[in-house]
Structure 1
Amino acid sequence: MPRLNNHFRQLTNALRYLARGDLPGLVNRLKWYGREYSNAKVRKRLISGSGAVWGILCTPHTLFVAQAISARLASHGIGSEIITGQLKRFDHDFYIVLCAQMFKQLPPGNRRVIFQLEQSVSSRWFTDKYIRDLEESFAVLEYSLTNIEFLAKKGVRYPHVHYLPIGAYVDEGAPGIQAEKKYDFVFYGDSLSSERRRSFLQELQSRYTVRICKDVFGEEMHGIIREAKAVINIHYYEGALLETPRLCECISLGVPVLSEGTADQGEYPELDGAVKFFEQGSIEAMMSAADEMMRNIRSFDSTLPAAAATSADRFAFMFDRFLVALGVLPANAILEKPIYVAEGSSFFALSLPETIDRRRAITRIRPDGCVIFDGIRNTRGWVGCASSFNALSRYALDKHLDKLTVIEDDVILPPDFDKVFEEVIDYLDNRESRWDIFSGLMADIHPSARVLSVEDVAGRTYVTMDKMTSTVFNIYGKRALELLSIWNPLDTDAVTNTIDRYLERQKDLRIVVTLPFIAGHKEEMTSTLWGFENGRYTPMIAEAERKIEALVQEWRRKKR
C-alpha cells in the first residue's frame, strides 16, 4: 500500500505540472526520477553489510583525508583500501576519488564519488573536463560552502552535491606519540612558487626557528609536525579559502596552528582552541600573533584536545549524513548517535547546506541565539526532513530543554521578530492550560480540526486547536518533543508519515496559533522535499488562515 500511495502521489504531482503549464519543470522532474531509478541499483550493491569494498583513490598530500574516510567506513563495517597511485583496473565495488584532476583515468562514473578539494578562488583546476567529471559522477563531495556556491553556478548542484567539511581524525586505538620539540614552527606545502608565502616565512624566520617542508608526506611529515610547537599556515592565493585539510591534520596530531585568516573561517567554529588566526595579508599581524602564541603555547594543552574531538565529531556526523543520503546506511543509523550542532541552543534553523541560496538567505536573517543545523538528507526528501526534526528533538530531550524552536530556511520573519518572539514565549510560559506546539503559520487545516480556546493577550489573538499541518516555524513543548523523538524513519508511507501528517494524526494535542500568523513562507524558493515552487503554498496558507478565522468566529458565537 505505501508503494501504491507513493506512485499515486508522483502521478498527482506530474498532473499538477501539466495543469500549470510547467513543461520544463515536468521534464526536470522526470529526469530526476530516472536518475533515482538508476542510482537505486547502485545503492543496493553498497548497502552496509553487503560485503562491498570501497577504493579510496588519493594523492600523497590528501592521504590524511583518505584515512579519515576509511576509518569512518570501517566504523560501519564497510571495507576499504587506500590507493595513492594510478590504477590500471578498477576492481573495487565503489570509489571515492580525492583530487580527481590529478588522475589520468578515473573509475566509471556510476561507481565513483569525487571529493572536490580545490579552491574556487583559483579557476585553473575548474576546466570543462573537470566539471564534466563532476557531473558524470554518482555524487560529489564538497568541503566548502563557497565552493558549493561556485559549483552551483557551473551546473553542479544539489542534489548531486553533498557537503562534507574536513574534520580531525582522532585514532583512539593508537597510542599518543610524544616528540621533543625542535622547532617553533613548521610550514609544509609549496613555498617556492608563491612569493607571498616566501615573504611571510622569511619574516617569521627572522625571529623563530621555522622548518619548511616540501614534498614530504605521510608518517615522515607527521613526525616532523610533532617536533614543532606549532604549524604556520599561509595562503598560496590572496583571498584563499581556509586550508582545512592541513589544519585538521595538524590538530589530529596534537599540534596547534597559527593560520592566516579567511572570509570563511566562521564556518569552522569547532577549530576554536586549536587554531589561532591573524589578519589575512598582514605580516605584522602574523608576527604579533606568533609572539602571543609562543608565550602561551602551553594553554593549547587544555583546549586543543576538545577542539580536535569536536572537529572529529562533526566529520563523523556529516560523513554518516552522506552515507544515509546515498542509501548506504538505513535512515535510522544517523539517529541512533549524538548529532553535531555548532553550539548549544534551544533555537535552530533547519537548512540543507547544499541548497546554497536558501542557506545564504537564512544566514542573513538568522535571529540572535538561533543556530543553523545541517539538515539530514535521504533519497526521500520528506524522510530526511522528518529525520532532522527527530534528531533535534532527541538533542533537546538529552539536554533537558523544556521547549525547542525550529524554523525552516524558507521562513519569512516579521521585521520586529525579536519583540514578537519574546511576547509569544512569555504567553506560553504564563498560560494556565497545557500547550504542546506553537505554530507560526499553518499550510492546511484538517477537516476535523477543532478550536479548543481563544485568548486575546496584548493585542494578539491566540487560538488553541487540536490539529496542525506545517513545520516552517514551530515551538515544541515537552510532549511534542517526546512524540517527535519516537517518529519511525523506516515507515516510508508519505501519506501518513511525513512529519506534519505524523503530528496531525496524534491524539489530544494542544496546538497554539496566532491570528494573524506571525510568520510567512518565501514564494520564490523551491521545495527541497517535493521539487515544486513554494508559491503553490501561498494560497493554501491564506486559506488555512481564513478557515481558522471562521472557526474562531464560530467558537466565539457559541461562547456568548
Structure 2
Amino acid sequence: MLDAVRRLCRVVAQEGVTGAINRVRYRRDDRLMREISAPSGQPMALAGHGPLKARFQAELARHGLLAAASAGCRSIVFNPGAAELGAGDLAAAVLDDDYLAAAGPQDGAIQALLASGCAMIVGSEEGLRRALALGAALPDITLVPDRAPGHQTRLAIGRWLAYAGALDPARHLEEVLAFAPPIGDRAHICISLPEYLQRRDSFRQGNPAGFRFFDGIRLLPAWKGCAWSYKTVAAKALQSGAERLTICEDDAFFSPDFPQYCAAIHRYLDRADWDVFNGVMTRIEGKPKISLRRRLGDNHIIHTPHMMGMVFNVYNRIALEWMADWSPDAGDANTNTIDEWLNSMPGLRVVSAVPFIAGHREDVHSTIFGFKNQRYSGMIRATEREILSQVESR
C-alpha cells in the first residue's frame, strides 16, 4: 500500500493531477496482453474459391501446413456461404472485394461469420473498410493484398500465419530476410500495422521525411509483436549493410521544418559518439544523467546513458545489432519491451534534443497496450520539463 502511495505521489509530482487521472482513465487492454500458445504447426485445409486461394495453397505447402480437405482439421474458407461457415472448425475466412461489396448487414453468411468471431482476411484496403462497415472487429481482420507484387503477398500470408499461431515469428523473420526489399543505409522506416488505415492515412499526410512503411508483426501479447517488428527491421537493415537507420511509428507527427531539423541532427551525429538518437523520450526514472550538453539552434542536444520510447529514433549499427538480438524469453511486459531491451544495452550512448523534435499523437490508441495515447502525454511533457530544467540551470 505504501509503495502504491509513493508511486502515485511521484506521478502527481512529475505529470500533475491530469497525468495521474490519465493513467487511471486509460488502462491497458487485457485482450492485447494475453499470452497465446506456442506455434502449433497444425496443418489447415482450404475450401471455397477466391483470387488468393492459389497463393495460400502454395504458402501453406511451403511451410508444411497444407492438409487435405478430408483430413478433418481446421480450414481456411474462401468467400463462404452460411452452410460452409457451420461445417467445421474454421481458422479463417478469406473475403474478396466482390464478396464484401455484395454483402449487406442482413446477409446470413456475414452475420454468421461475425457471430463466430472467426479470423477474417481481406484482399485490399477497400475490402478492409467494407468489412469494418459491416461490423467486423479490427483485431479479427488481417490484410493480405491480392493485387500486390508476389513477395508482398507471400510475406503478408506469413504475417497472418504468425498472428494465427501457426508459424513461429522467427520463421517469418527468415522470410523477410529472404524476400523483402533491402533496407539501405540511412533509410527512413515507419513501423505500422496495415490494418489501421486511419493511422496510416494520417501519417501519409504529414510525412515530410519520406518514411517507408514496414508492415508490423501482429502477435499476442502485442508488446511481443512490436519487439519482433523492430528485431526484424534491424536484422533486414544489417543484412542490407546499413550503418545507420531512422525508425518511427505511425503515431509520430512532425512539424513542416522537420527535414531541416533532422538533417542538422544527422550532421551532429556524424561527429559524435552515440548509439541511439532518442527523438521522443517518454519517461525517465529520477533525474536524468546528462554527461554533455550542446546548443543546436533552438534546441539543446544532450548526451545521456538512458533512453525510453520508440516514437522516433535513429540507430547506429551497434544499436541495430543489439536490437536484432532481442529475445522473447528475456523478460515480461515490464522488463522486456523493445525500449527496455535497448535501455539495457551495455555502455549505451544516447543523444537527444529538447524540446523534442517529433511529437506523439494523442488522438489514437496504442496498438500495444490498447489505452489512448493521451496517457503518454503527461509522461512526455514531464520528461521534457525535467531535462530542460537541468540543461537550462547549468
Measured against the shorter chain, the TM-score band is: 0.7 to 0.9
Per the alignment, do residues 448 and 323 of structure 1 end up closer, same or farther by CA in structure 2, a change over 3 Å counting? farther
User: Counterpart of 2:204?
Assistant: 363
Instruction: Find the residue that maps to 2:121 and give its secondary structure.
Output: strand
User: Counterpart of 1:330?
Assistant: 168
User: Counterpart of 1:512?
Assistant: 351
Alpha-carbon distance between aligned partners in 2 of 1:20 and 1:56, rounded to the nearest angstrom: 46
The one-character-per-residue Cα deviations of 1:366-400 (angstroms, maximum 9, x if unpaired) are 23432111111111111111111111111111111
Structure 1: which amino acid aligns with 2:118? F
Structure 1: which amino acid aligns with 2:384? E
User: Counterpart of 1:196?
Assistant: none
2:264 matches 1:423: yes
Instruction: Find the residue that maps to 2:139 and give its secondary structure.
Output: coil
Instruction: Find the residue that maps to 1:423 and give its secondary structure.
Output: helix
Instruction: Find the residue that maps to 1:100 and give its secondary structure.
Output: coil
Instruction: Give the CA deviation at 1:149.
Output: 2.2
Q: 1:55–1:94: 8 Å Cα contact kept in structure 2? A: yes
User: Counterpart of 2:158?
Assistant: 320
Larger of the two Rg values belongs to structure: 1
Q: 2:276–2:313: 8 Å Cα contact kept in structure 1? A: yes
Per the alignment, do residues 391 and 112 of structure 1 end up closer, same or farther by CA in structure 2, a change over 3 Å counting? closer
Name structure 2 gaps, 5 residues minimum. Answer: 1-19
Per the alignment, do residues 342 and 369 of structure 1 end up closer, same or farther by CA in structure 2, a change over 3 Å counting? farther
Aligned residues: 370
Q: 1:118–1:125: 8 Å Cα contact kept in structure 2? A: no
User: Counterpart of 1:523?
Assistant: 362
Instruction: Find the residue that maps to 1:337 and give its secondary structure.
Output: helix
Match for residue 98 of structure 1 among 74, 78, 82: 78
Q: Which is bigger in relative contact order (C-alpha 8 A, separation at least 6)?
A: 2
Q: 1:142–1:163: 8 Å Cα contact kept in structure 2? A: yes
The one-character-per-residue Cα deviations of 1:486-510 (angstroms, maximum 9, x if unpaired) are 1113445112110011111222111
Q: 2:308–2:343: 8 Å Cα contact kept in structure 1? A: yes
Q: 1:110–1:137: 8 Å Cα contact kept in structure 2? A: no
Instruction: Give the CA deviation at 1:553.
Output: 4.3
Instruction: Find the residue that maps to 1:353 and give its secondary structure.
Output: coil
User: Counterpart of 1:454?
Assistant: 293
Per the alignment, do residues 434 and 65 of structure 1 end up closer, same or farther by CA in structure 2, a change over 3 Å counting? same
User: Counterpart of 1:150?
Assistant: 130
Structure 2: which amino acid aligns with 1:365? G
2:63 matches 1:76: yes
Structure 2: which amino acid aligns with 1:334? H
Alpha-carbon distance between aligned partners in 2 of 1:316 and 1:19, rounded to the nearest angstrom: 40
Instruction: Find the residue that maps to 2:268 and give its secondary structure.
Output: helix
2:390 matches 1:403: no
Alpha-carbon distance between aligned partners in 2 of 1:152 and 1:315, rounded to the nearest angstrom: 21
* Aligned-pair identity (%): 28
Alpha-carbon distance between aligned partners in 1 of 2:32 and 2:194, rounded to the nearest angstrom: 22
Instruction: Find the residue that maps to 1:79 and give its secondary structure.
Output: coil
Per the alignment, do residues 33 and 110 of structure 1 end up closer, same or farther by CA in structure 2, a change over 3 Å counting? farther
Where has structure 1 moved over 4 Å in runs of 4 or more? 16-22, 107-110, 339-345
2:103 matches 1:113: no
Instruction: Give the CA deviation at 1:113.
Output: 0.7
Instruction: Find the residue that maps to 2:84 and give its secondary structure.
Output: coil
Q: 2:173–2:232: 8 Å Cα contact kept in structure 1? A: yes
2:373 matches 1:386: no
Alpha-carbon distance between aligned partners in 2 of 1:444 and 1:387, rounded to the nearest angstrom: 22
Per the alignment, do residues 393 and 99 of structure 1 end up closer, same or farther by CA in structure 2, a change over 3 Å counting? same
Instruction: Give the CA deviation at 1:466.
Output: 0.4
TM-score of the superposition, structure 1-length normalised? 0.61
User: Counterpart of 2:4?
Assistant: none
User: Counterpart of 1:469?
Assistant: 308
The one-character-per-residue Cα deviations of 1:335-360 (angstroms, maximum 9, x if unpaired) are 23335656755111111011121121
User: Counterpart of 2:43?
Assistant: 53
Instruction: Give the CA deviation at 1:464.
Output: 0.8
Instruction: Give the CA deviation at 1:21.
Output: 5.7
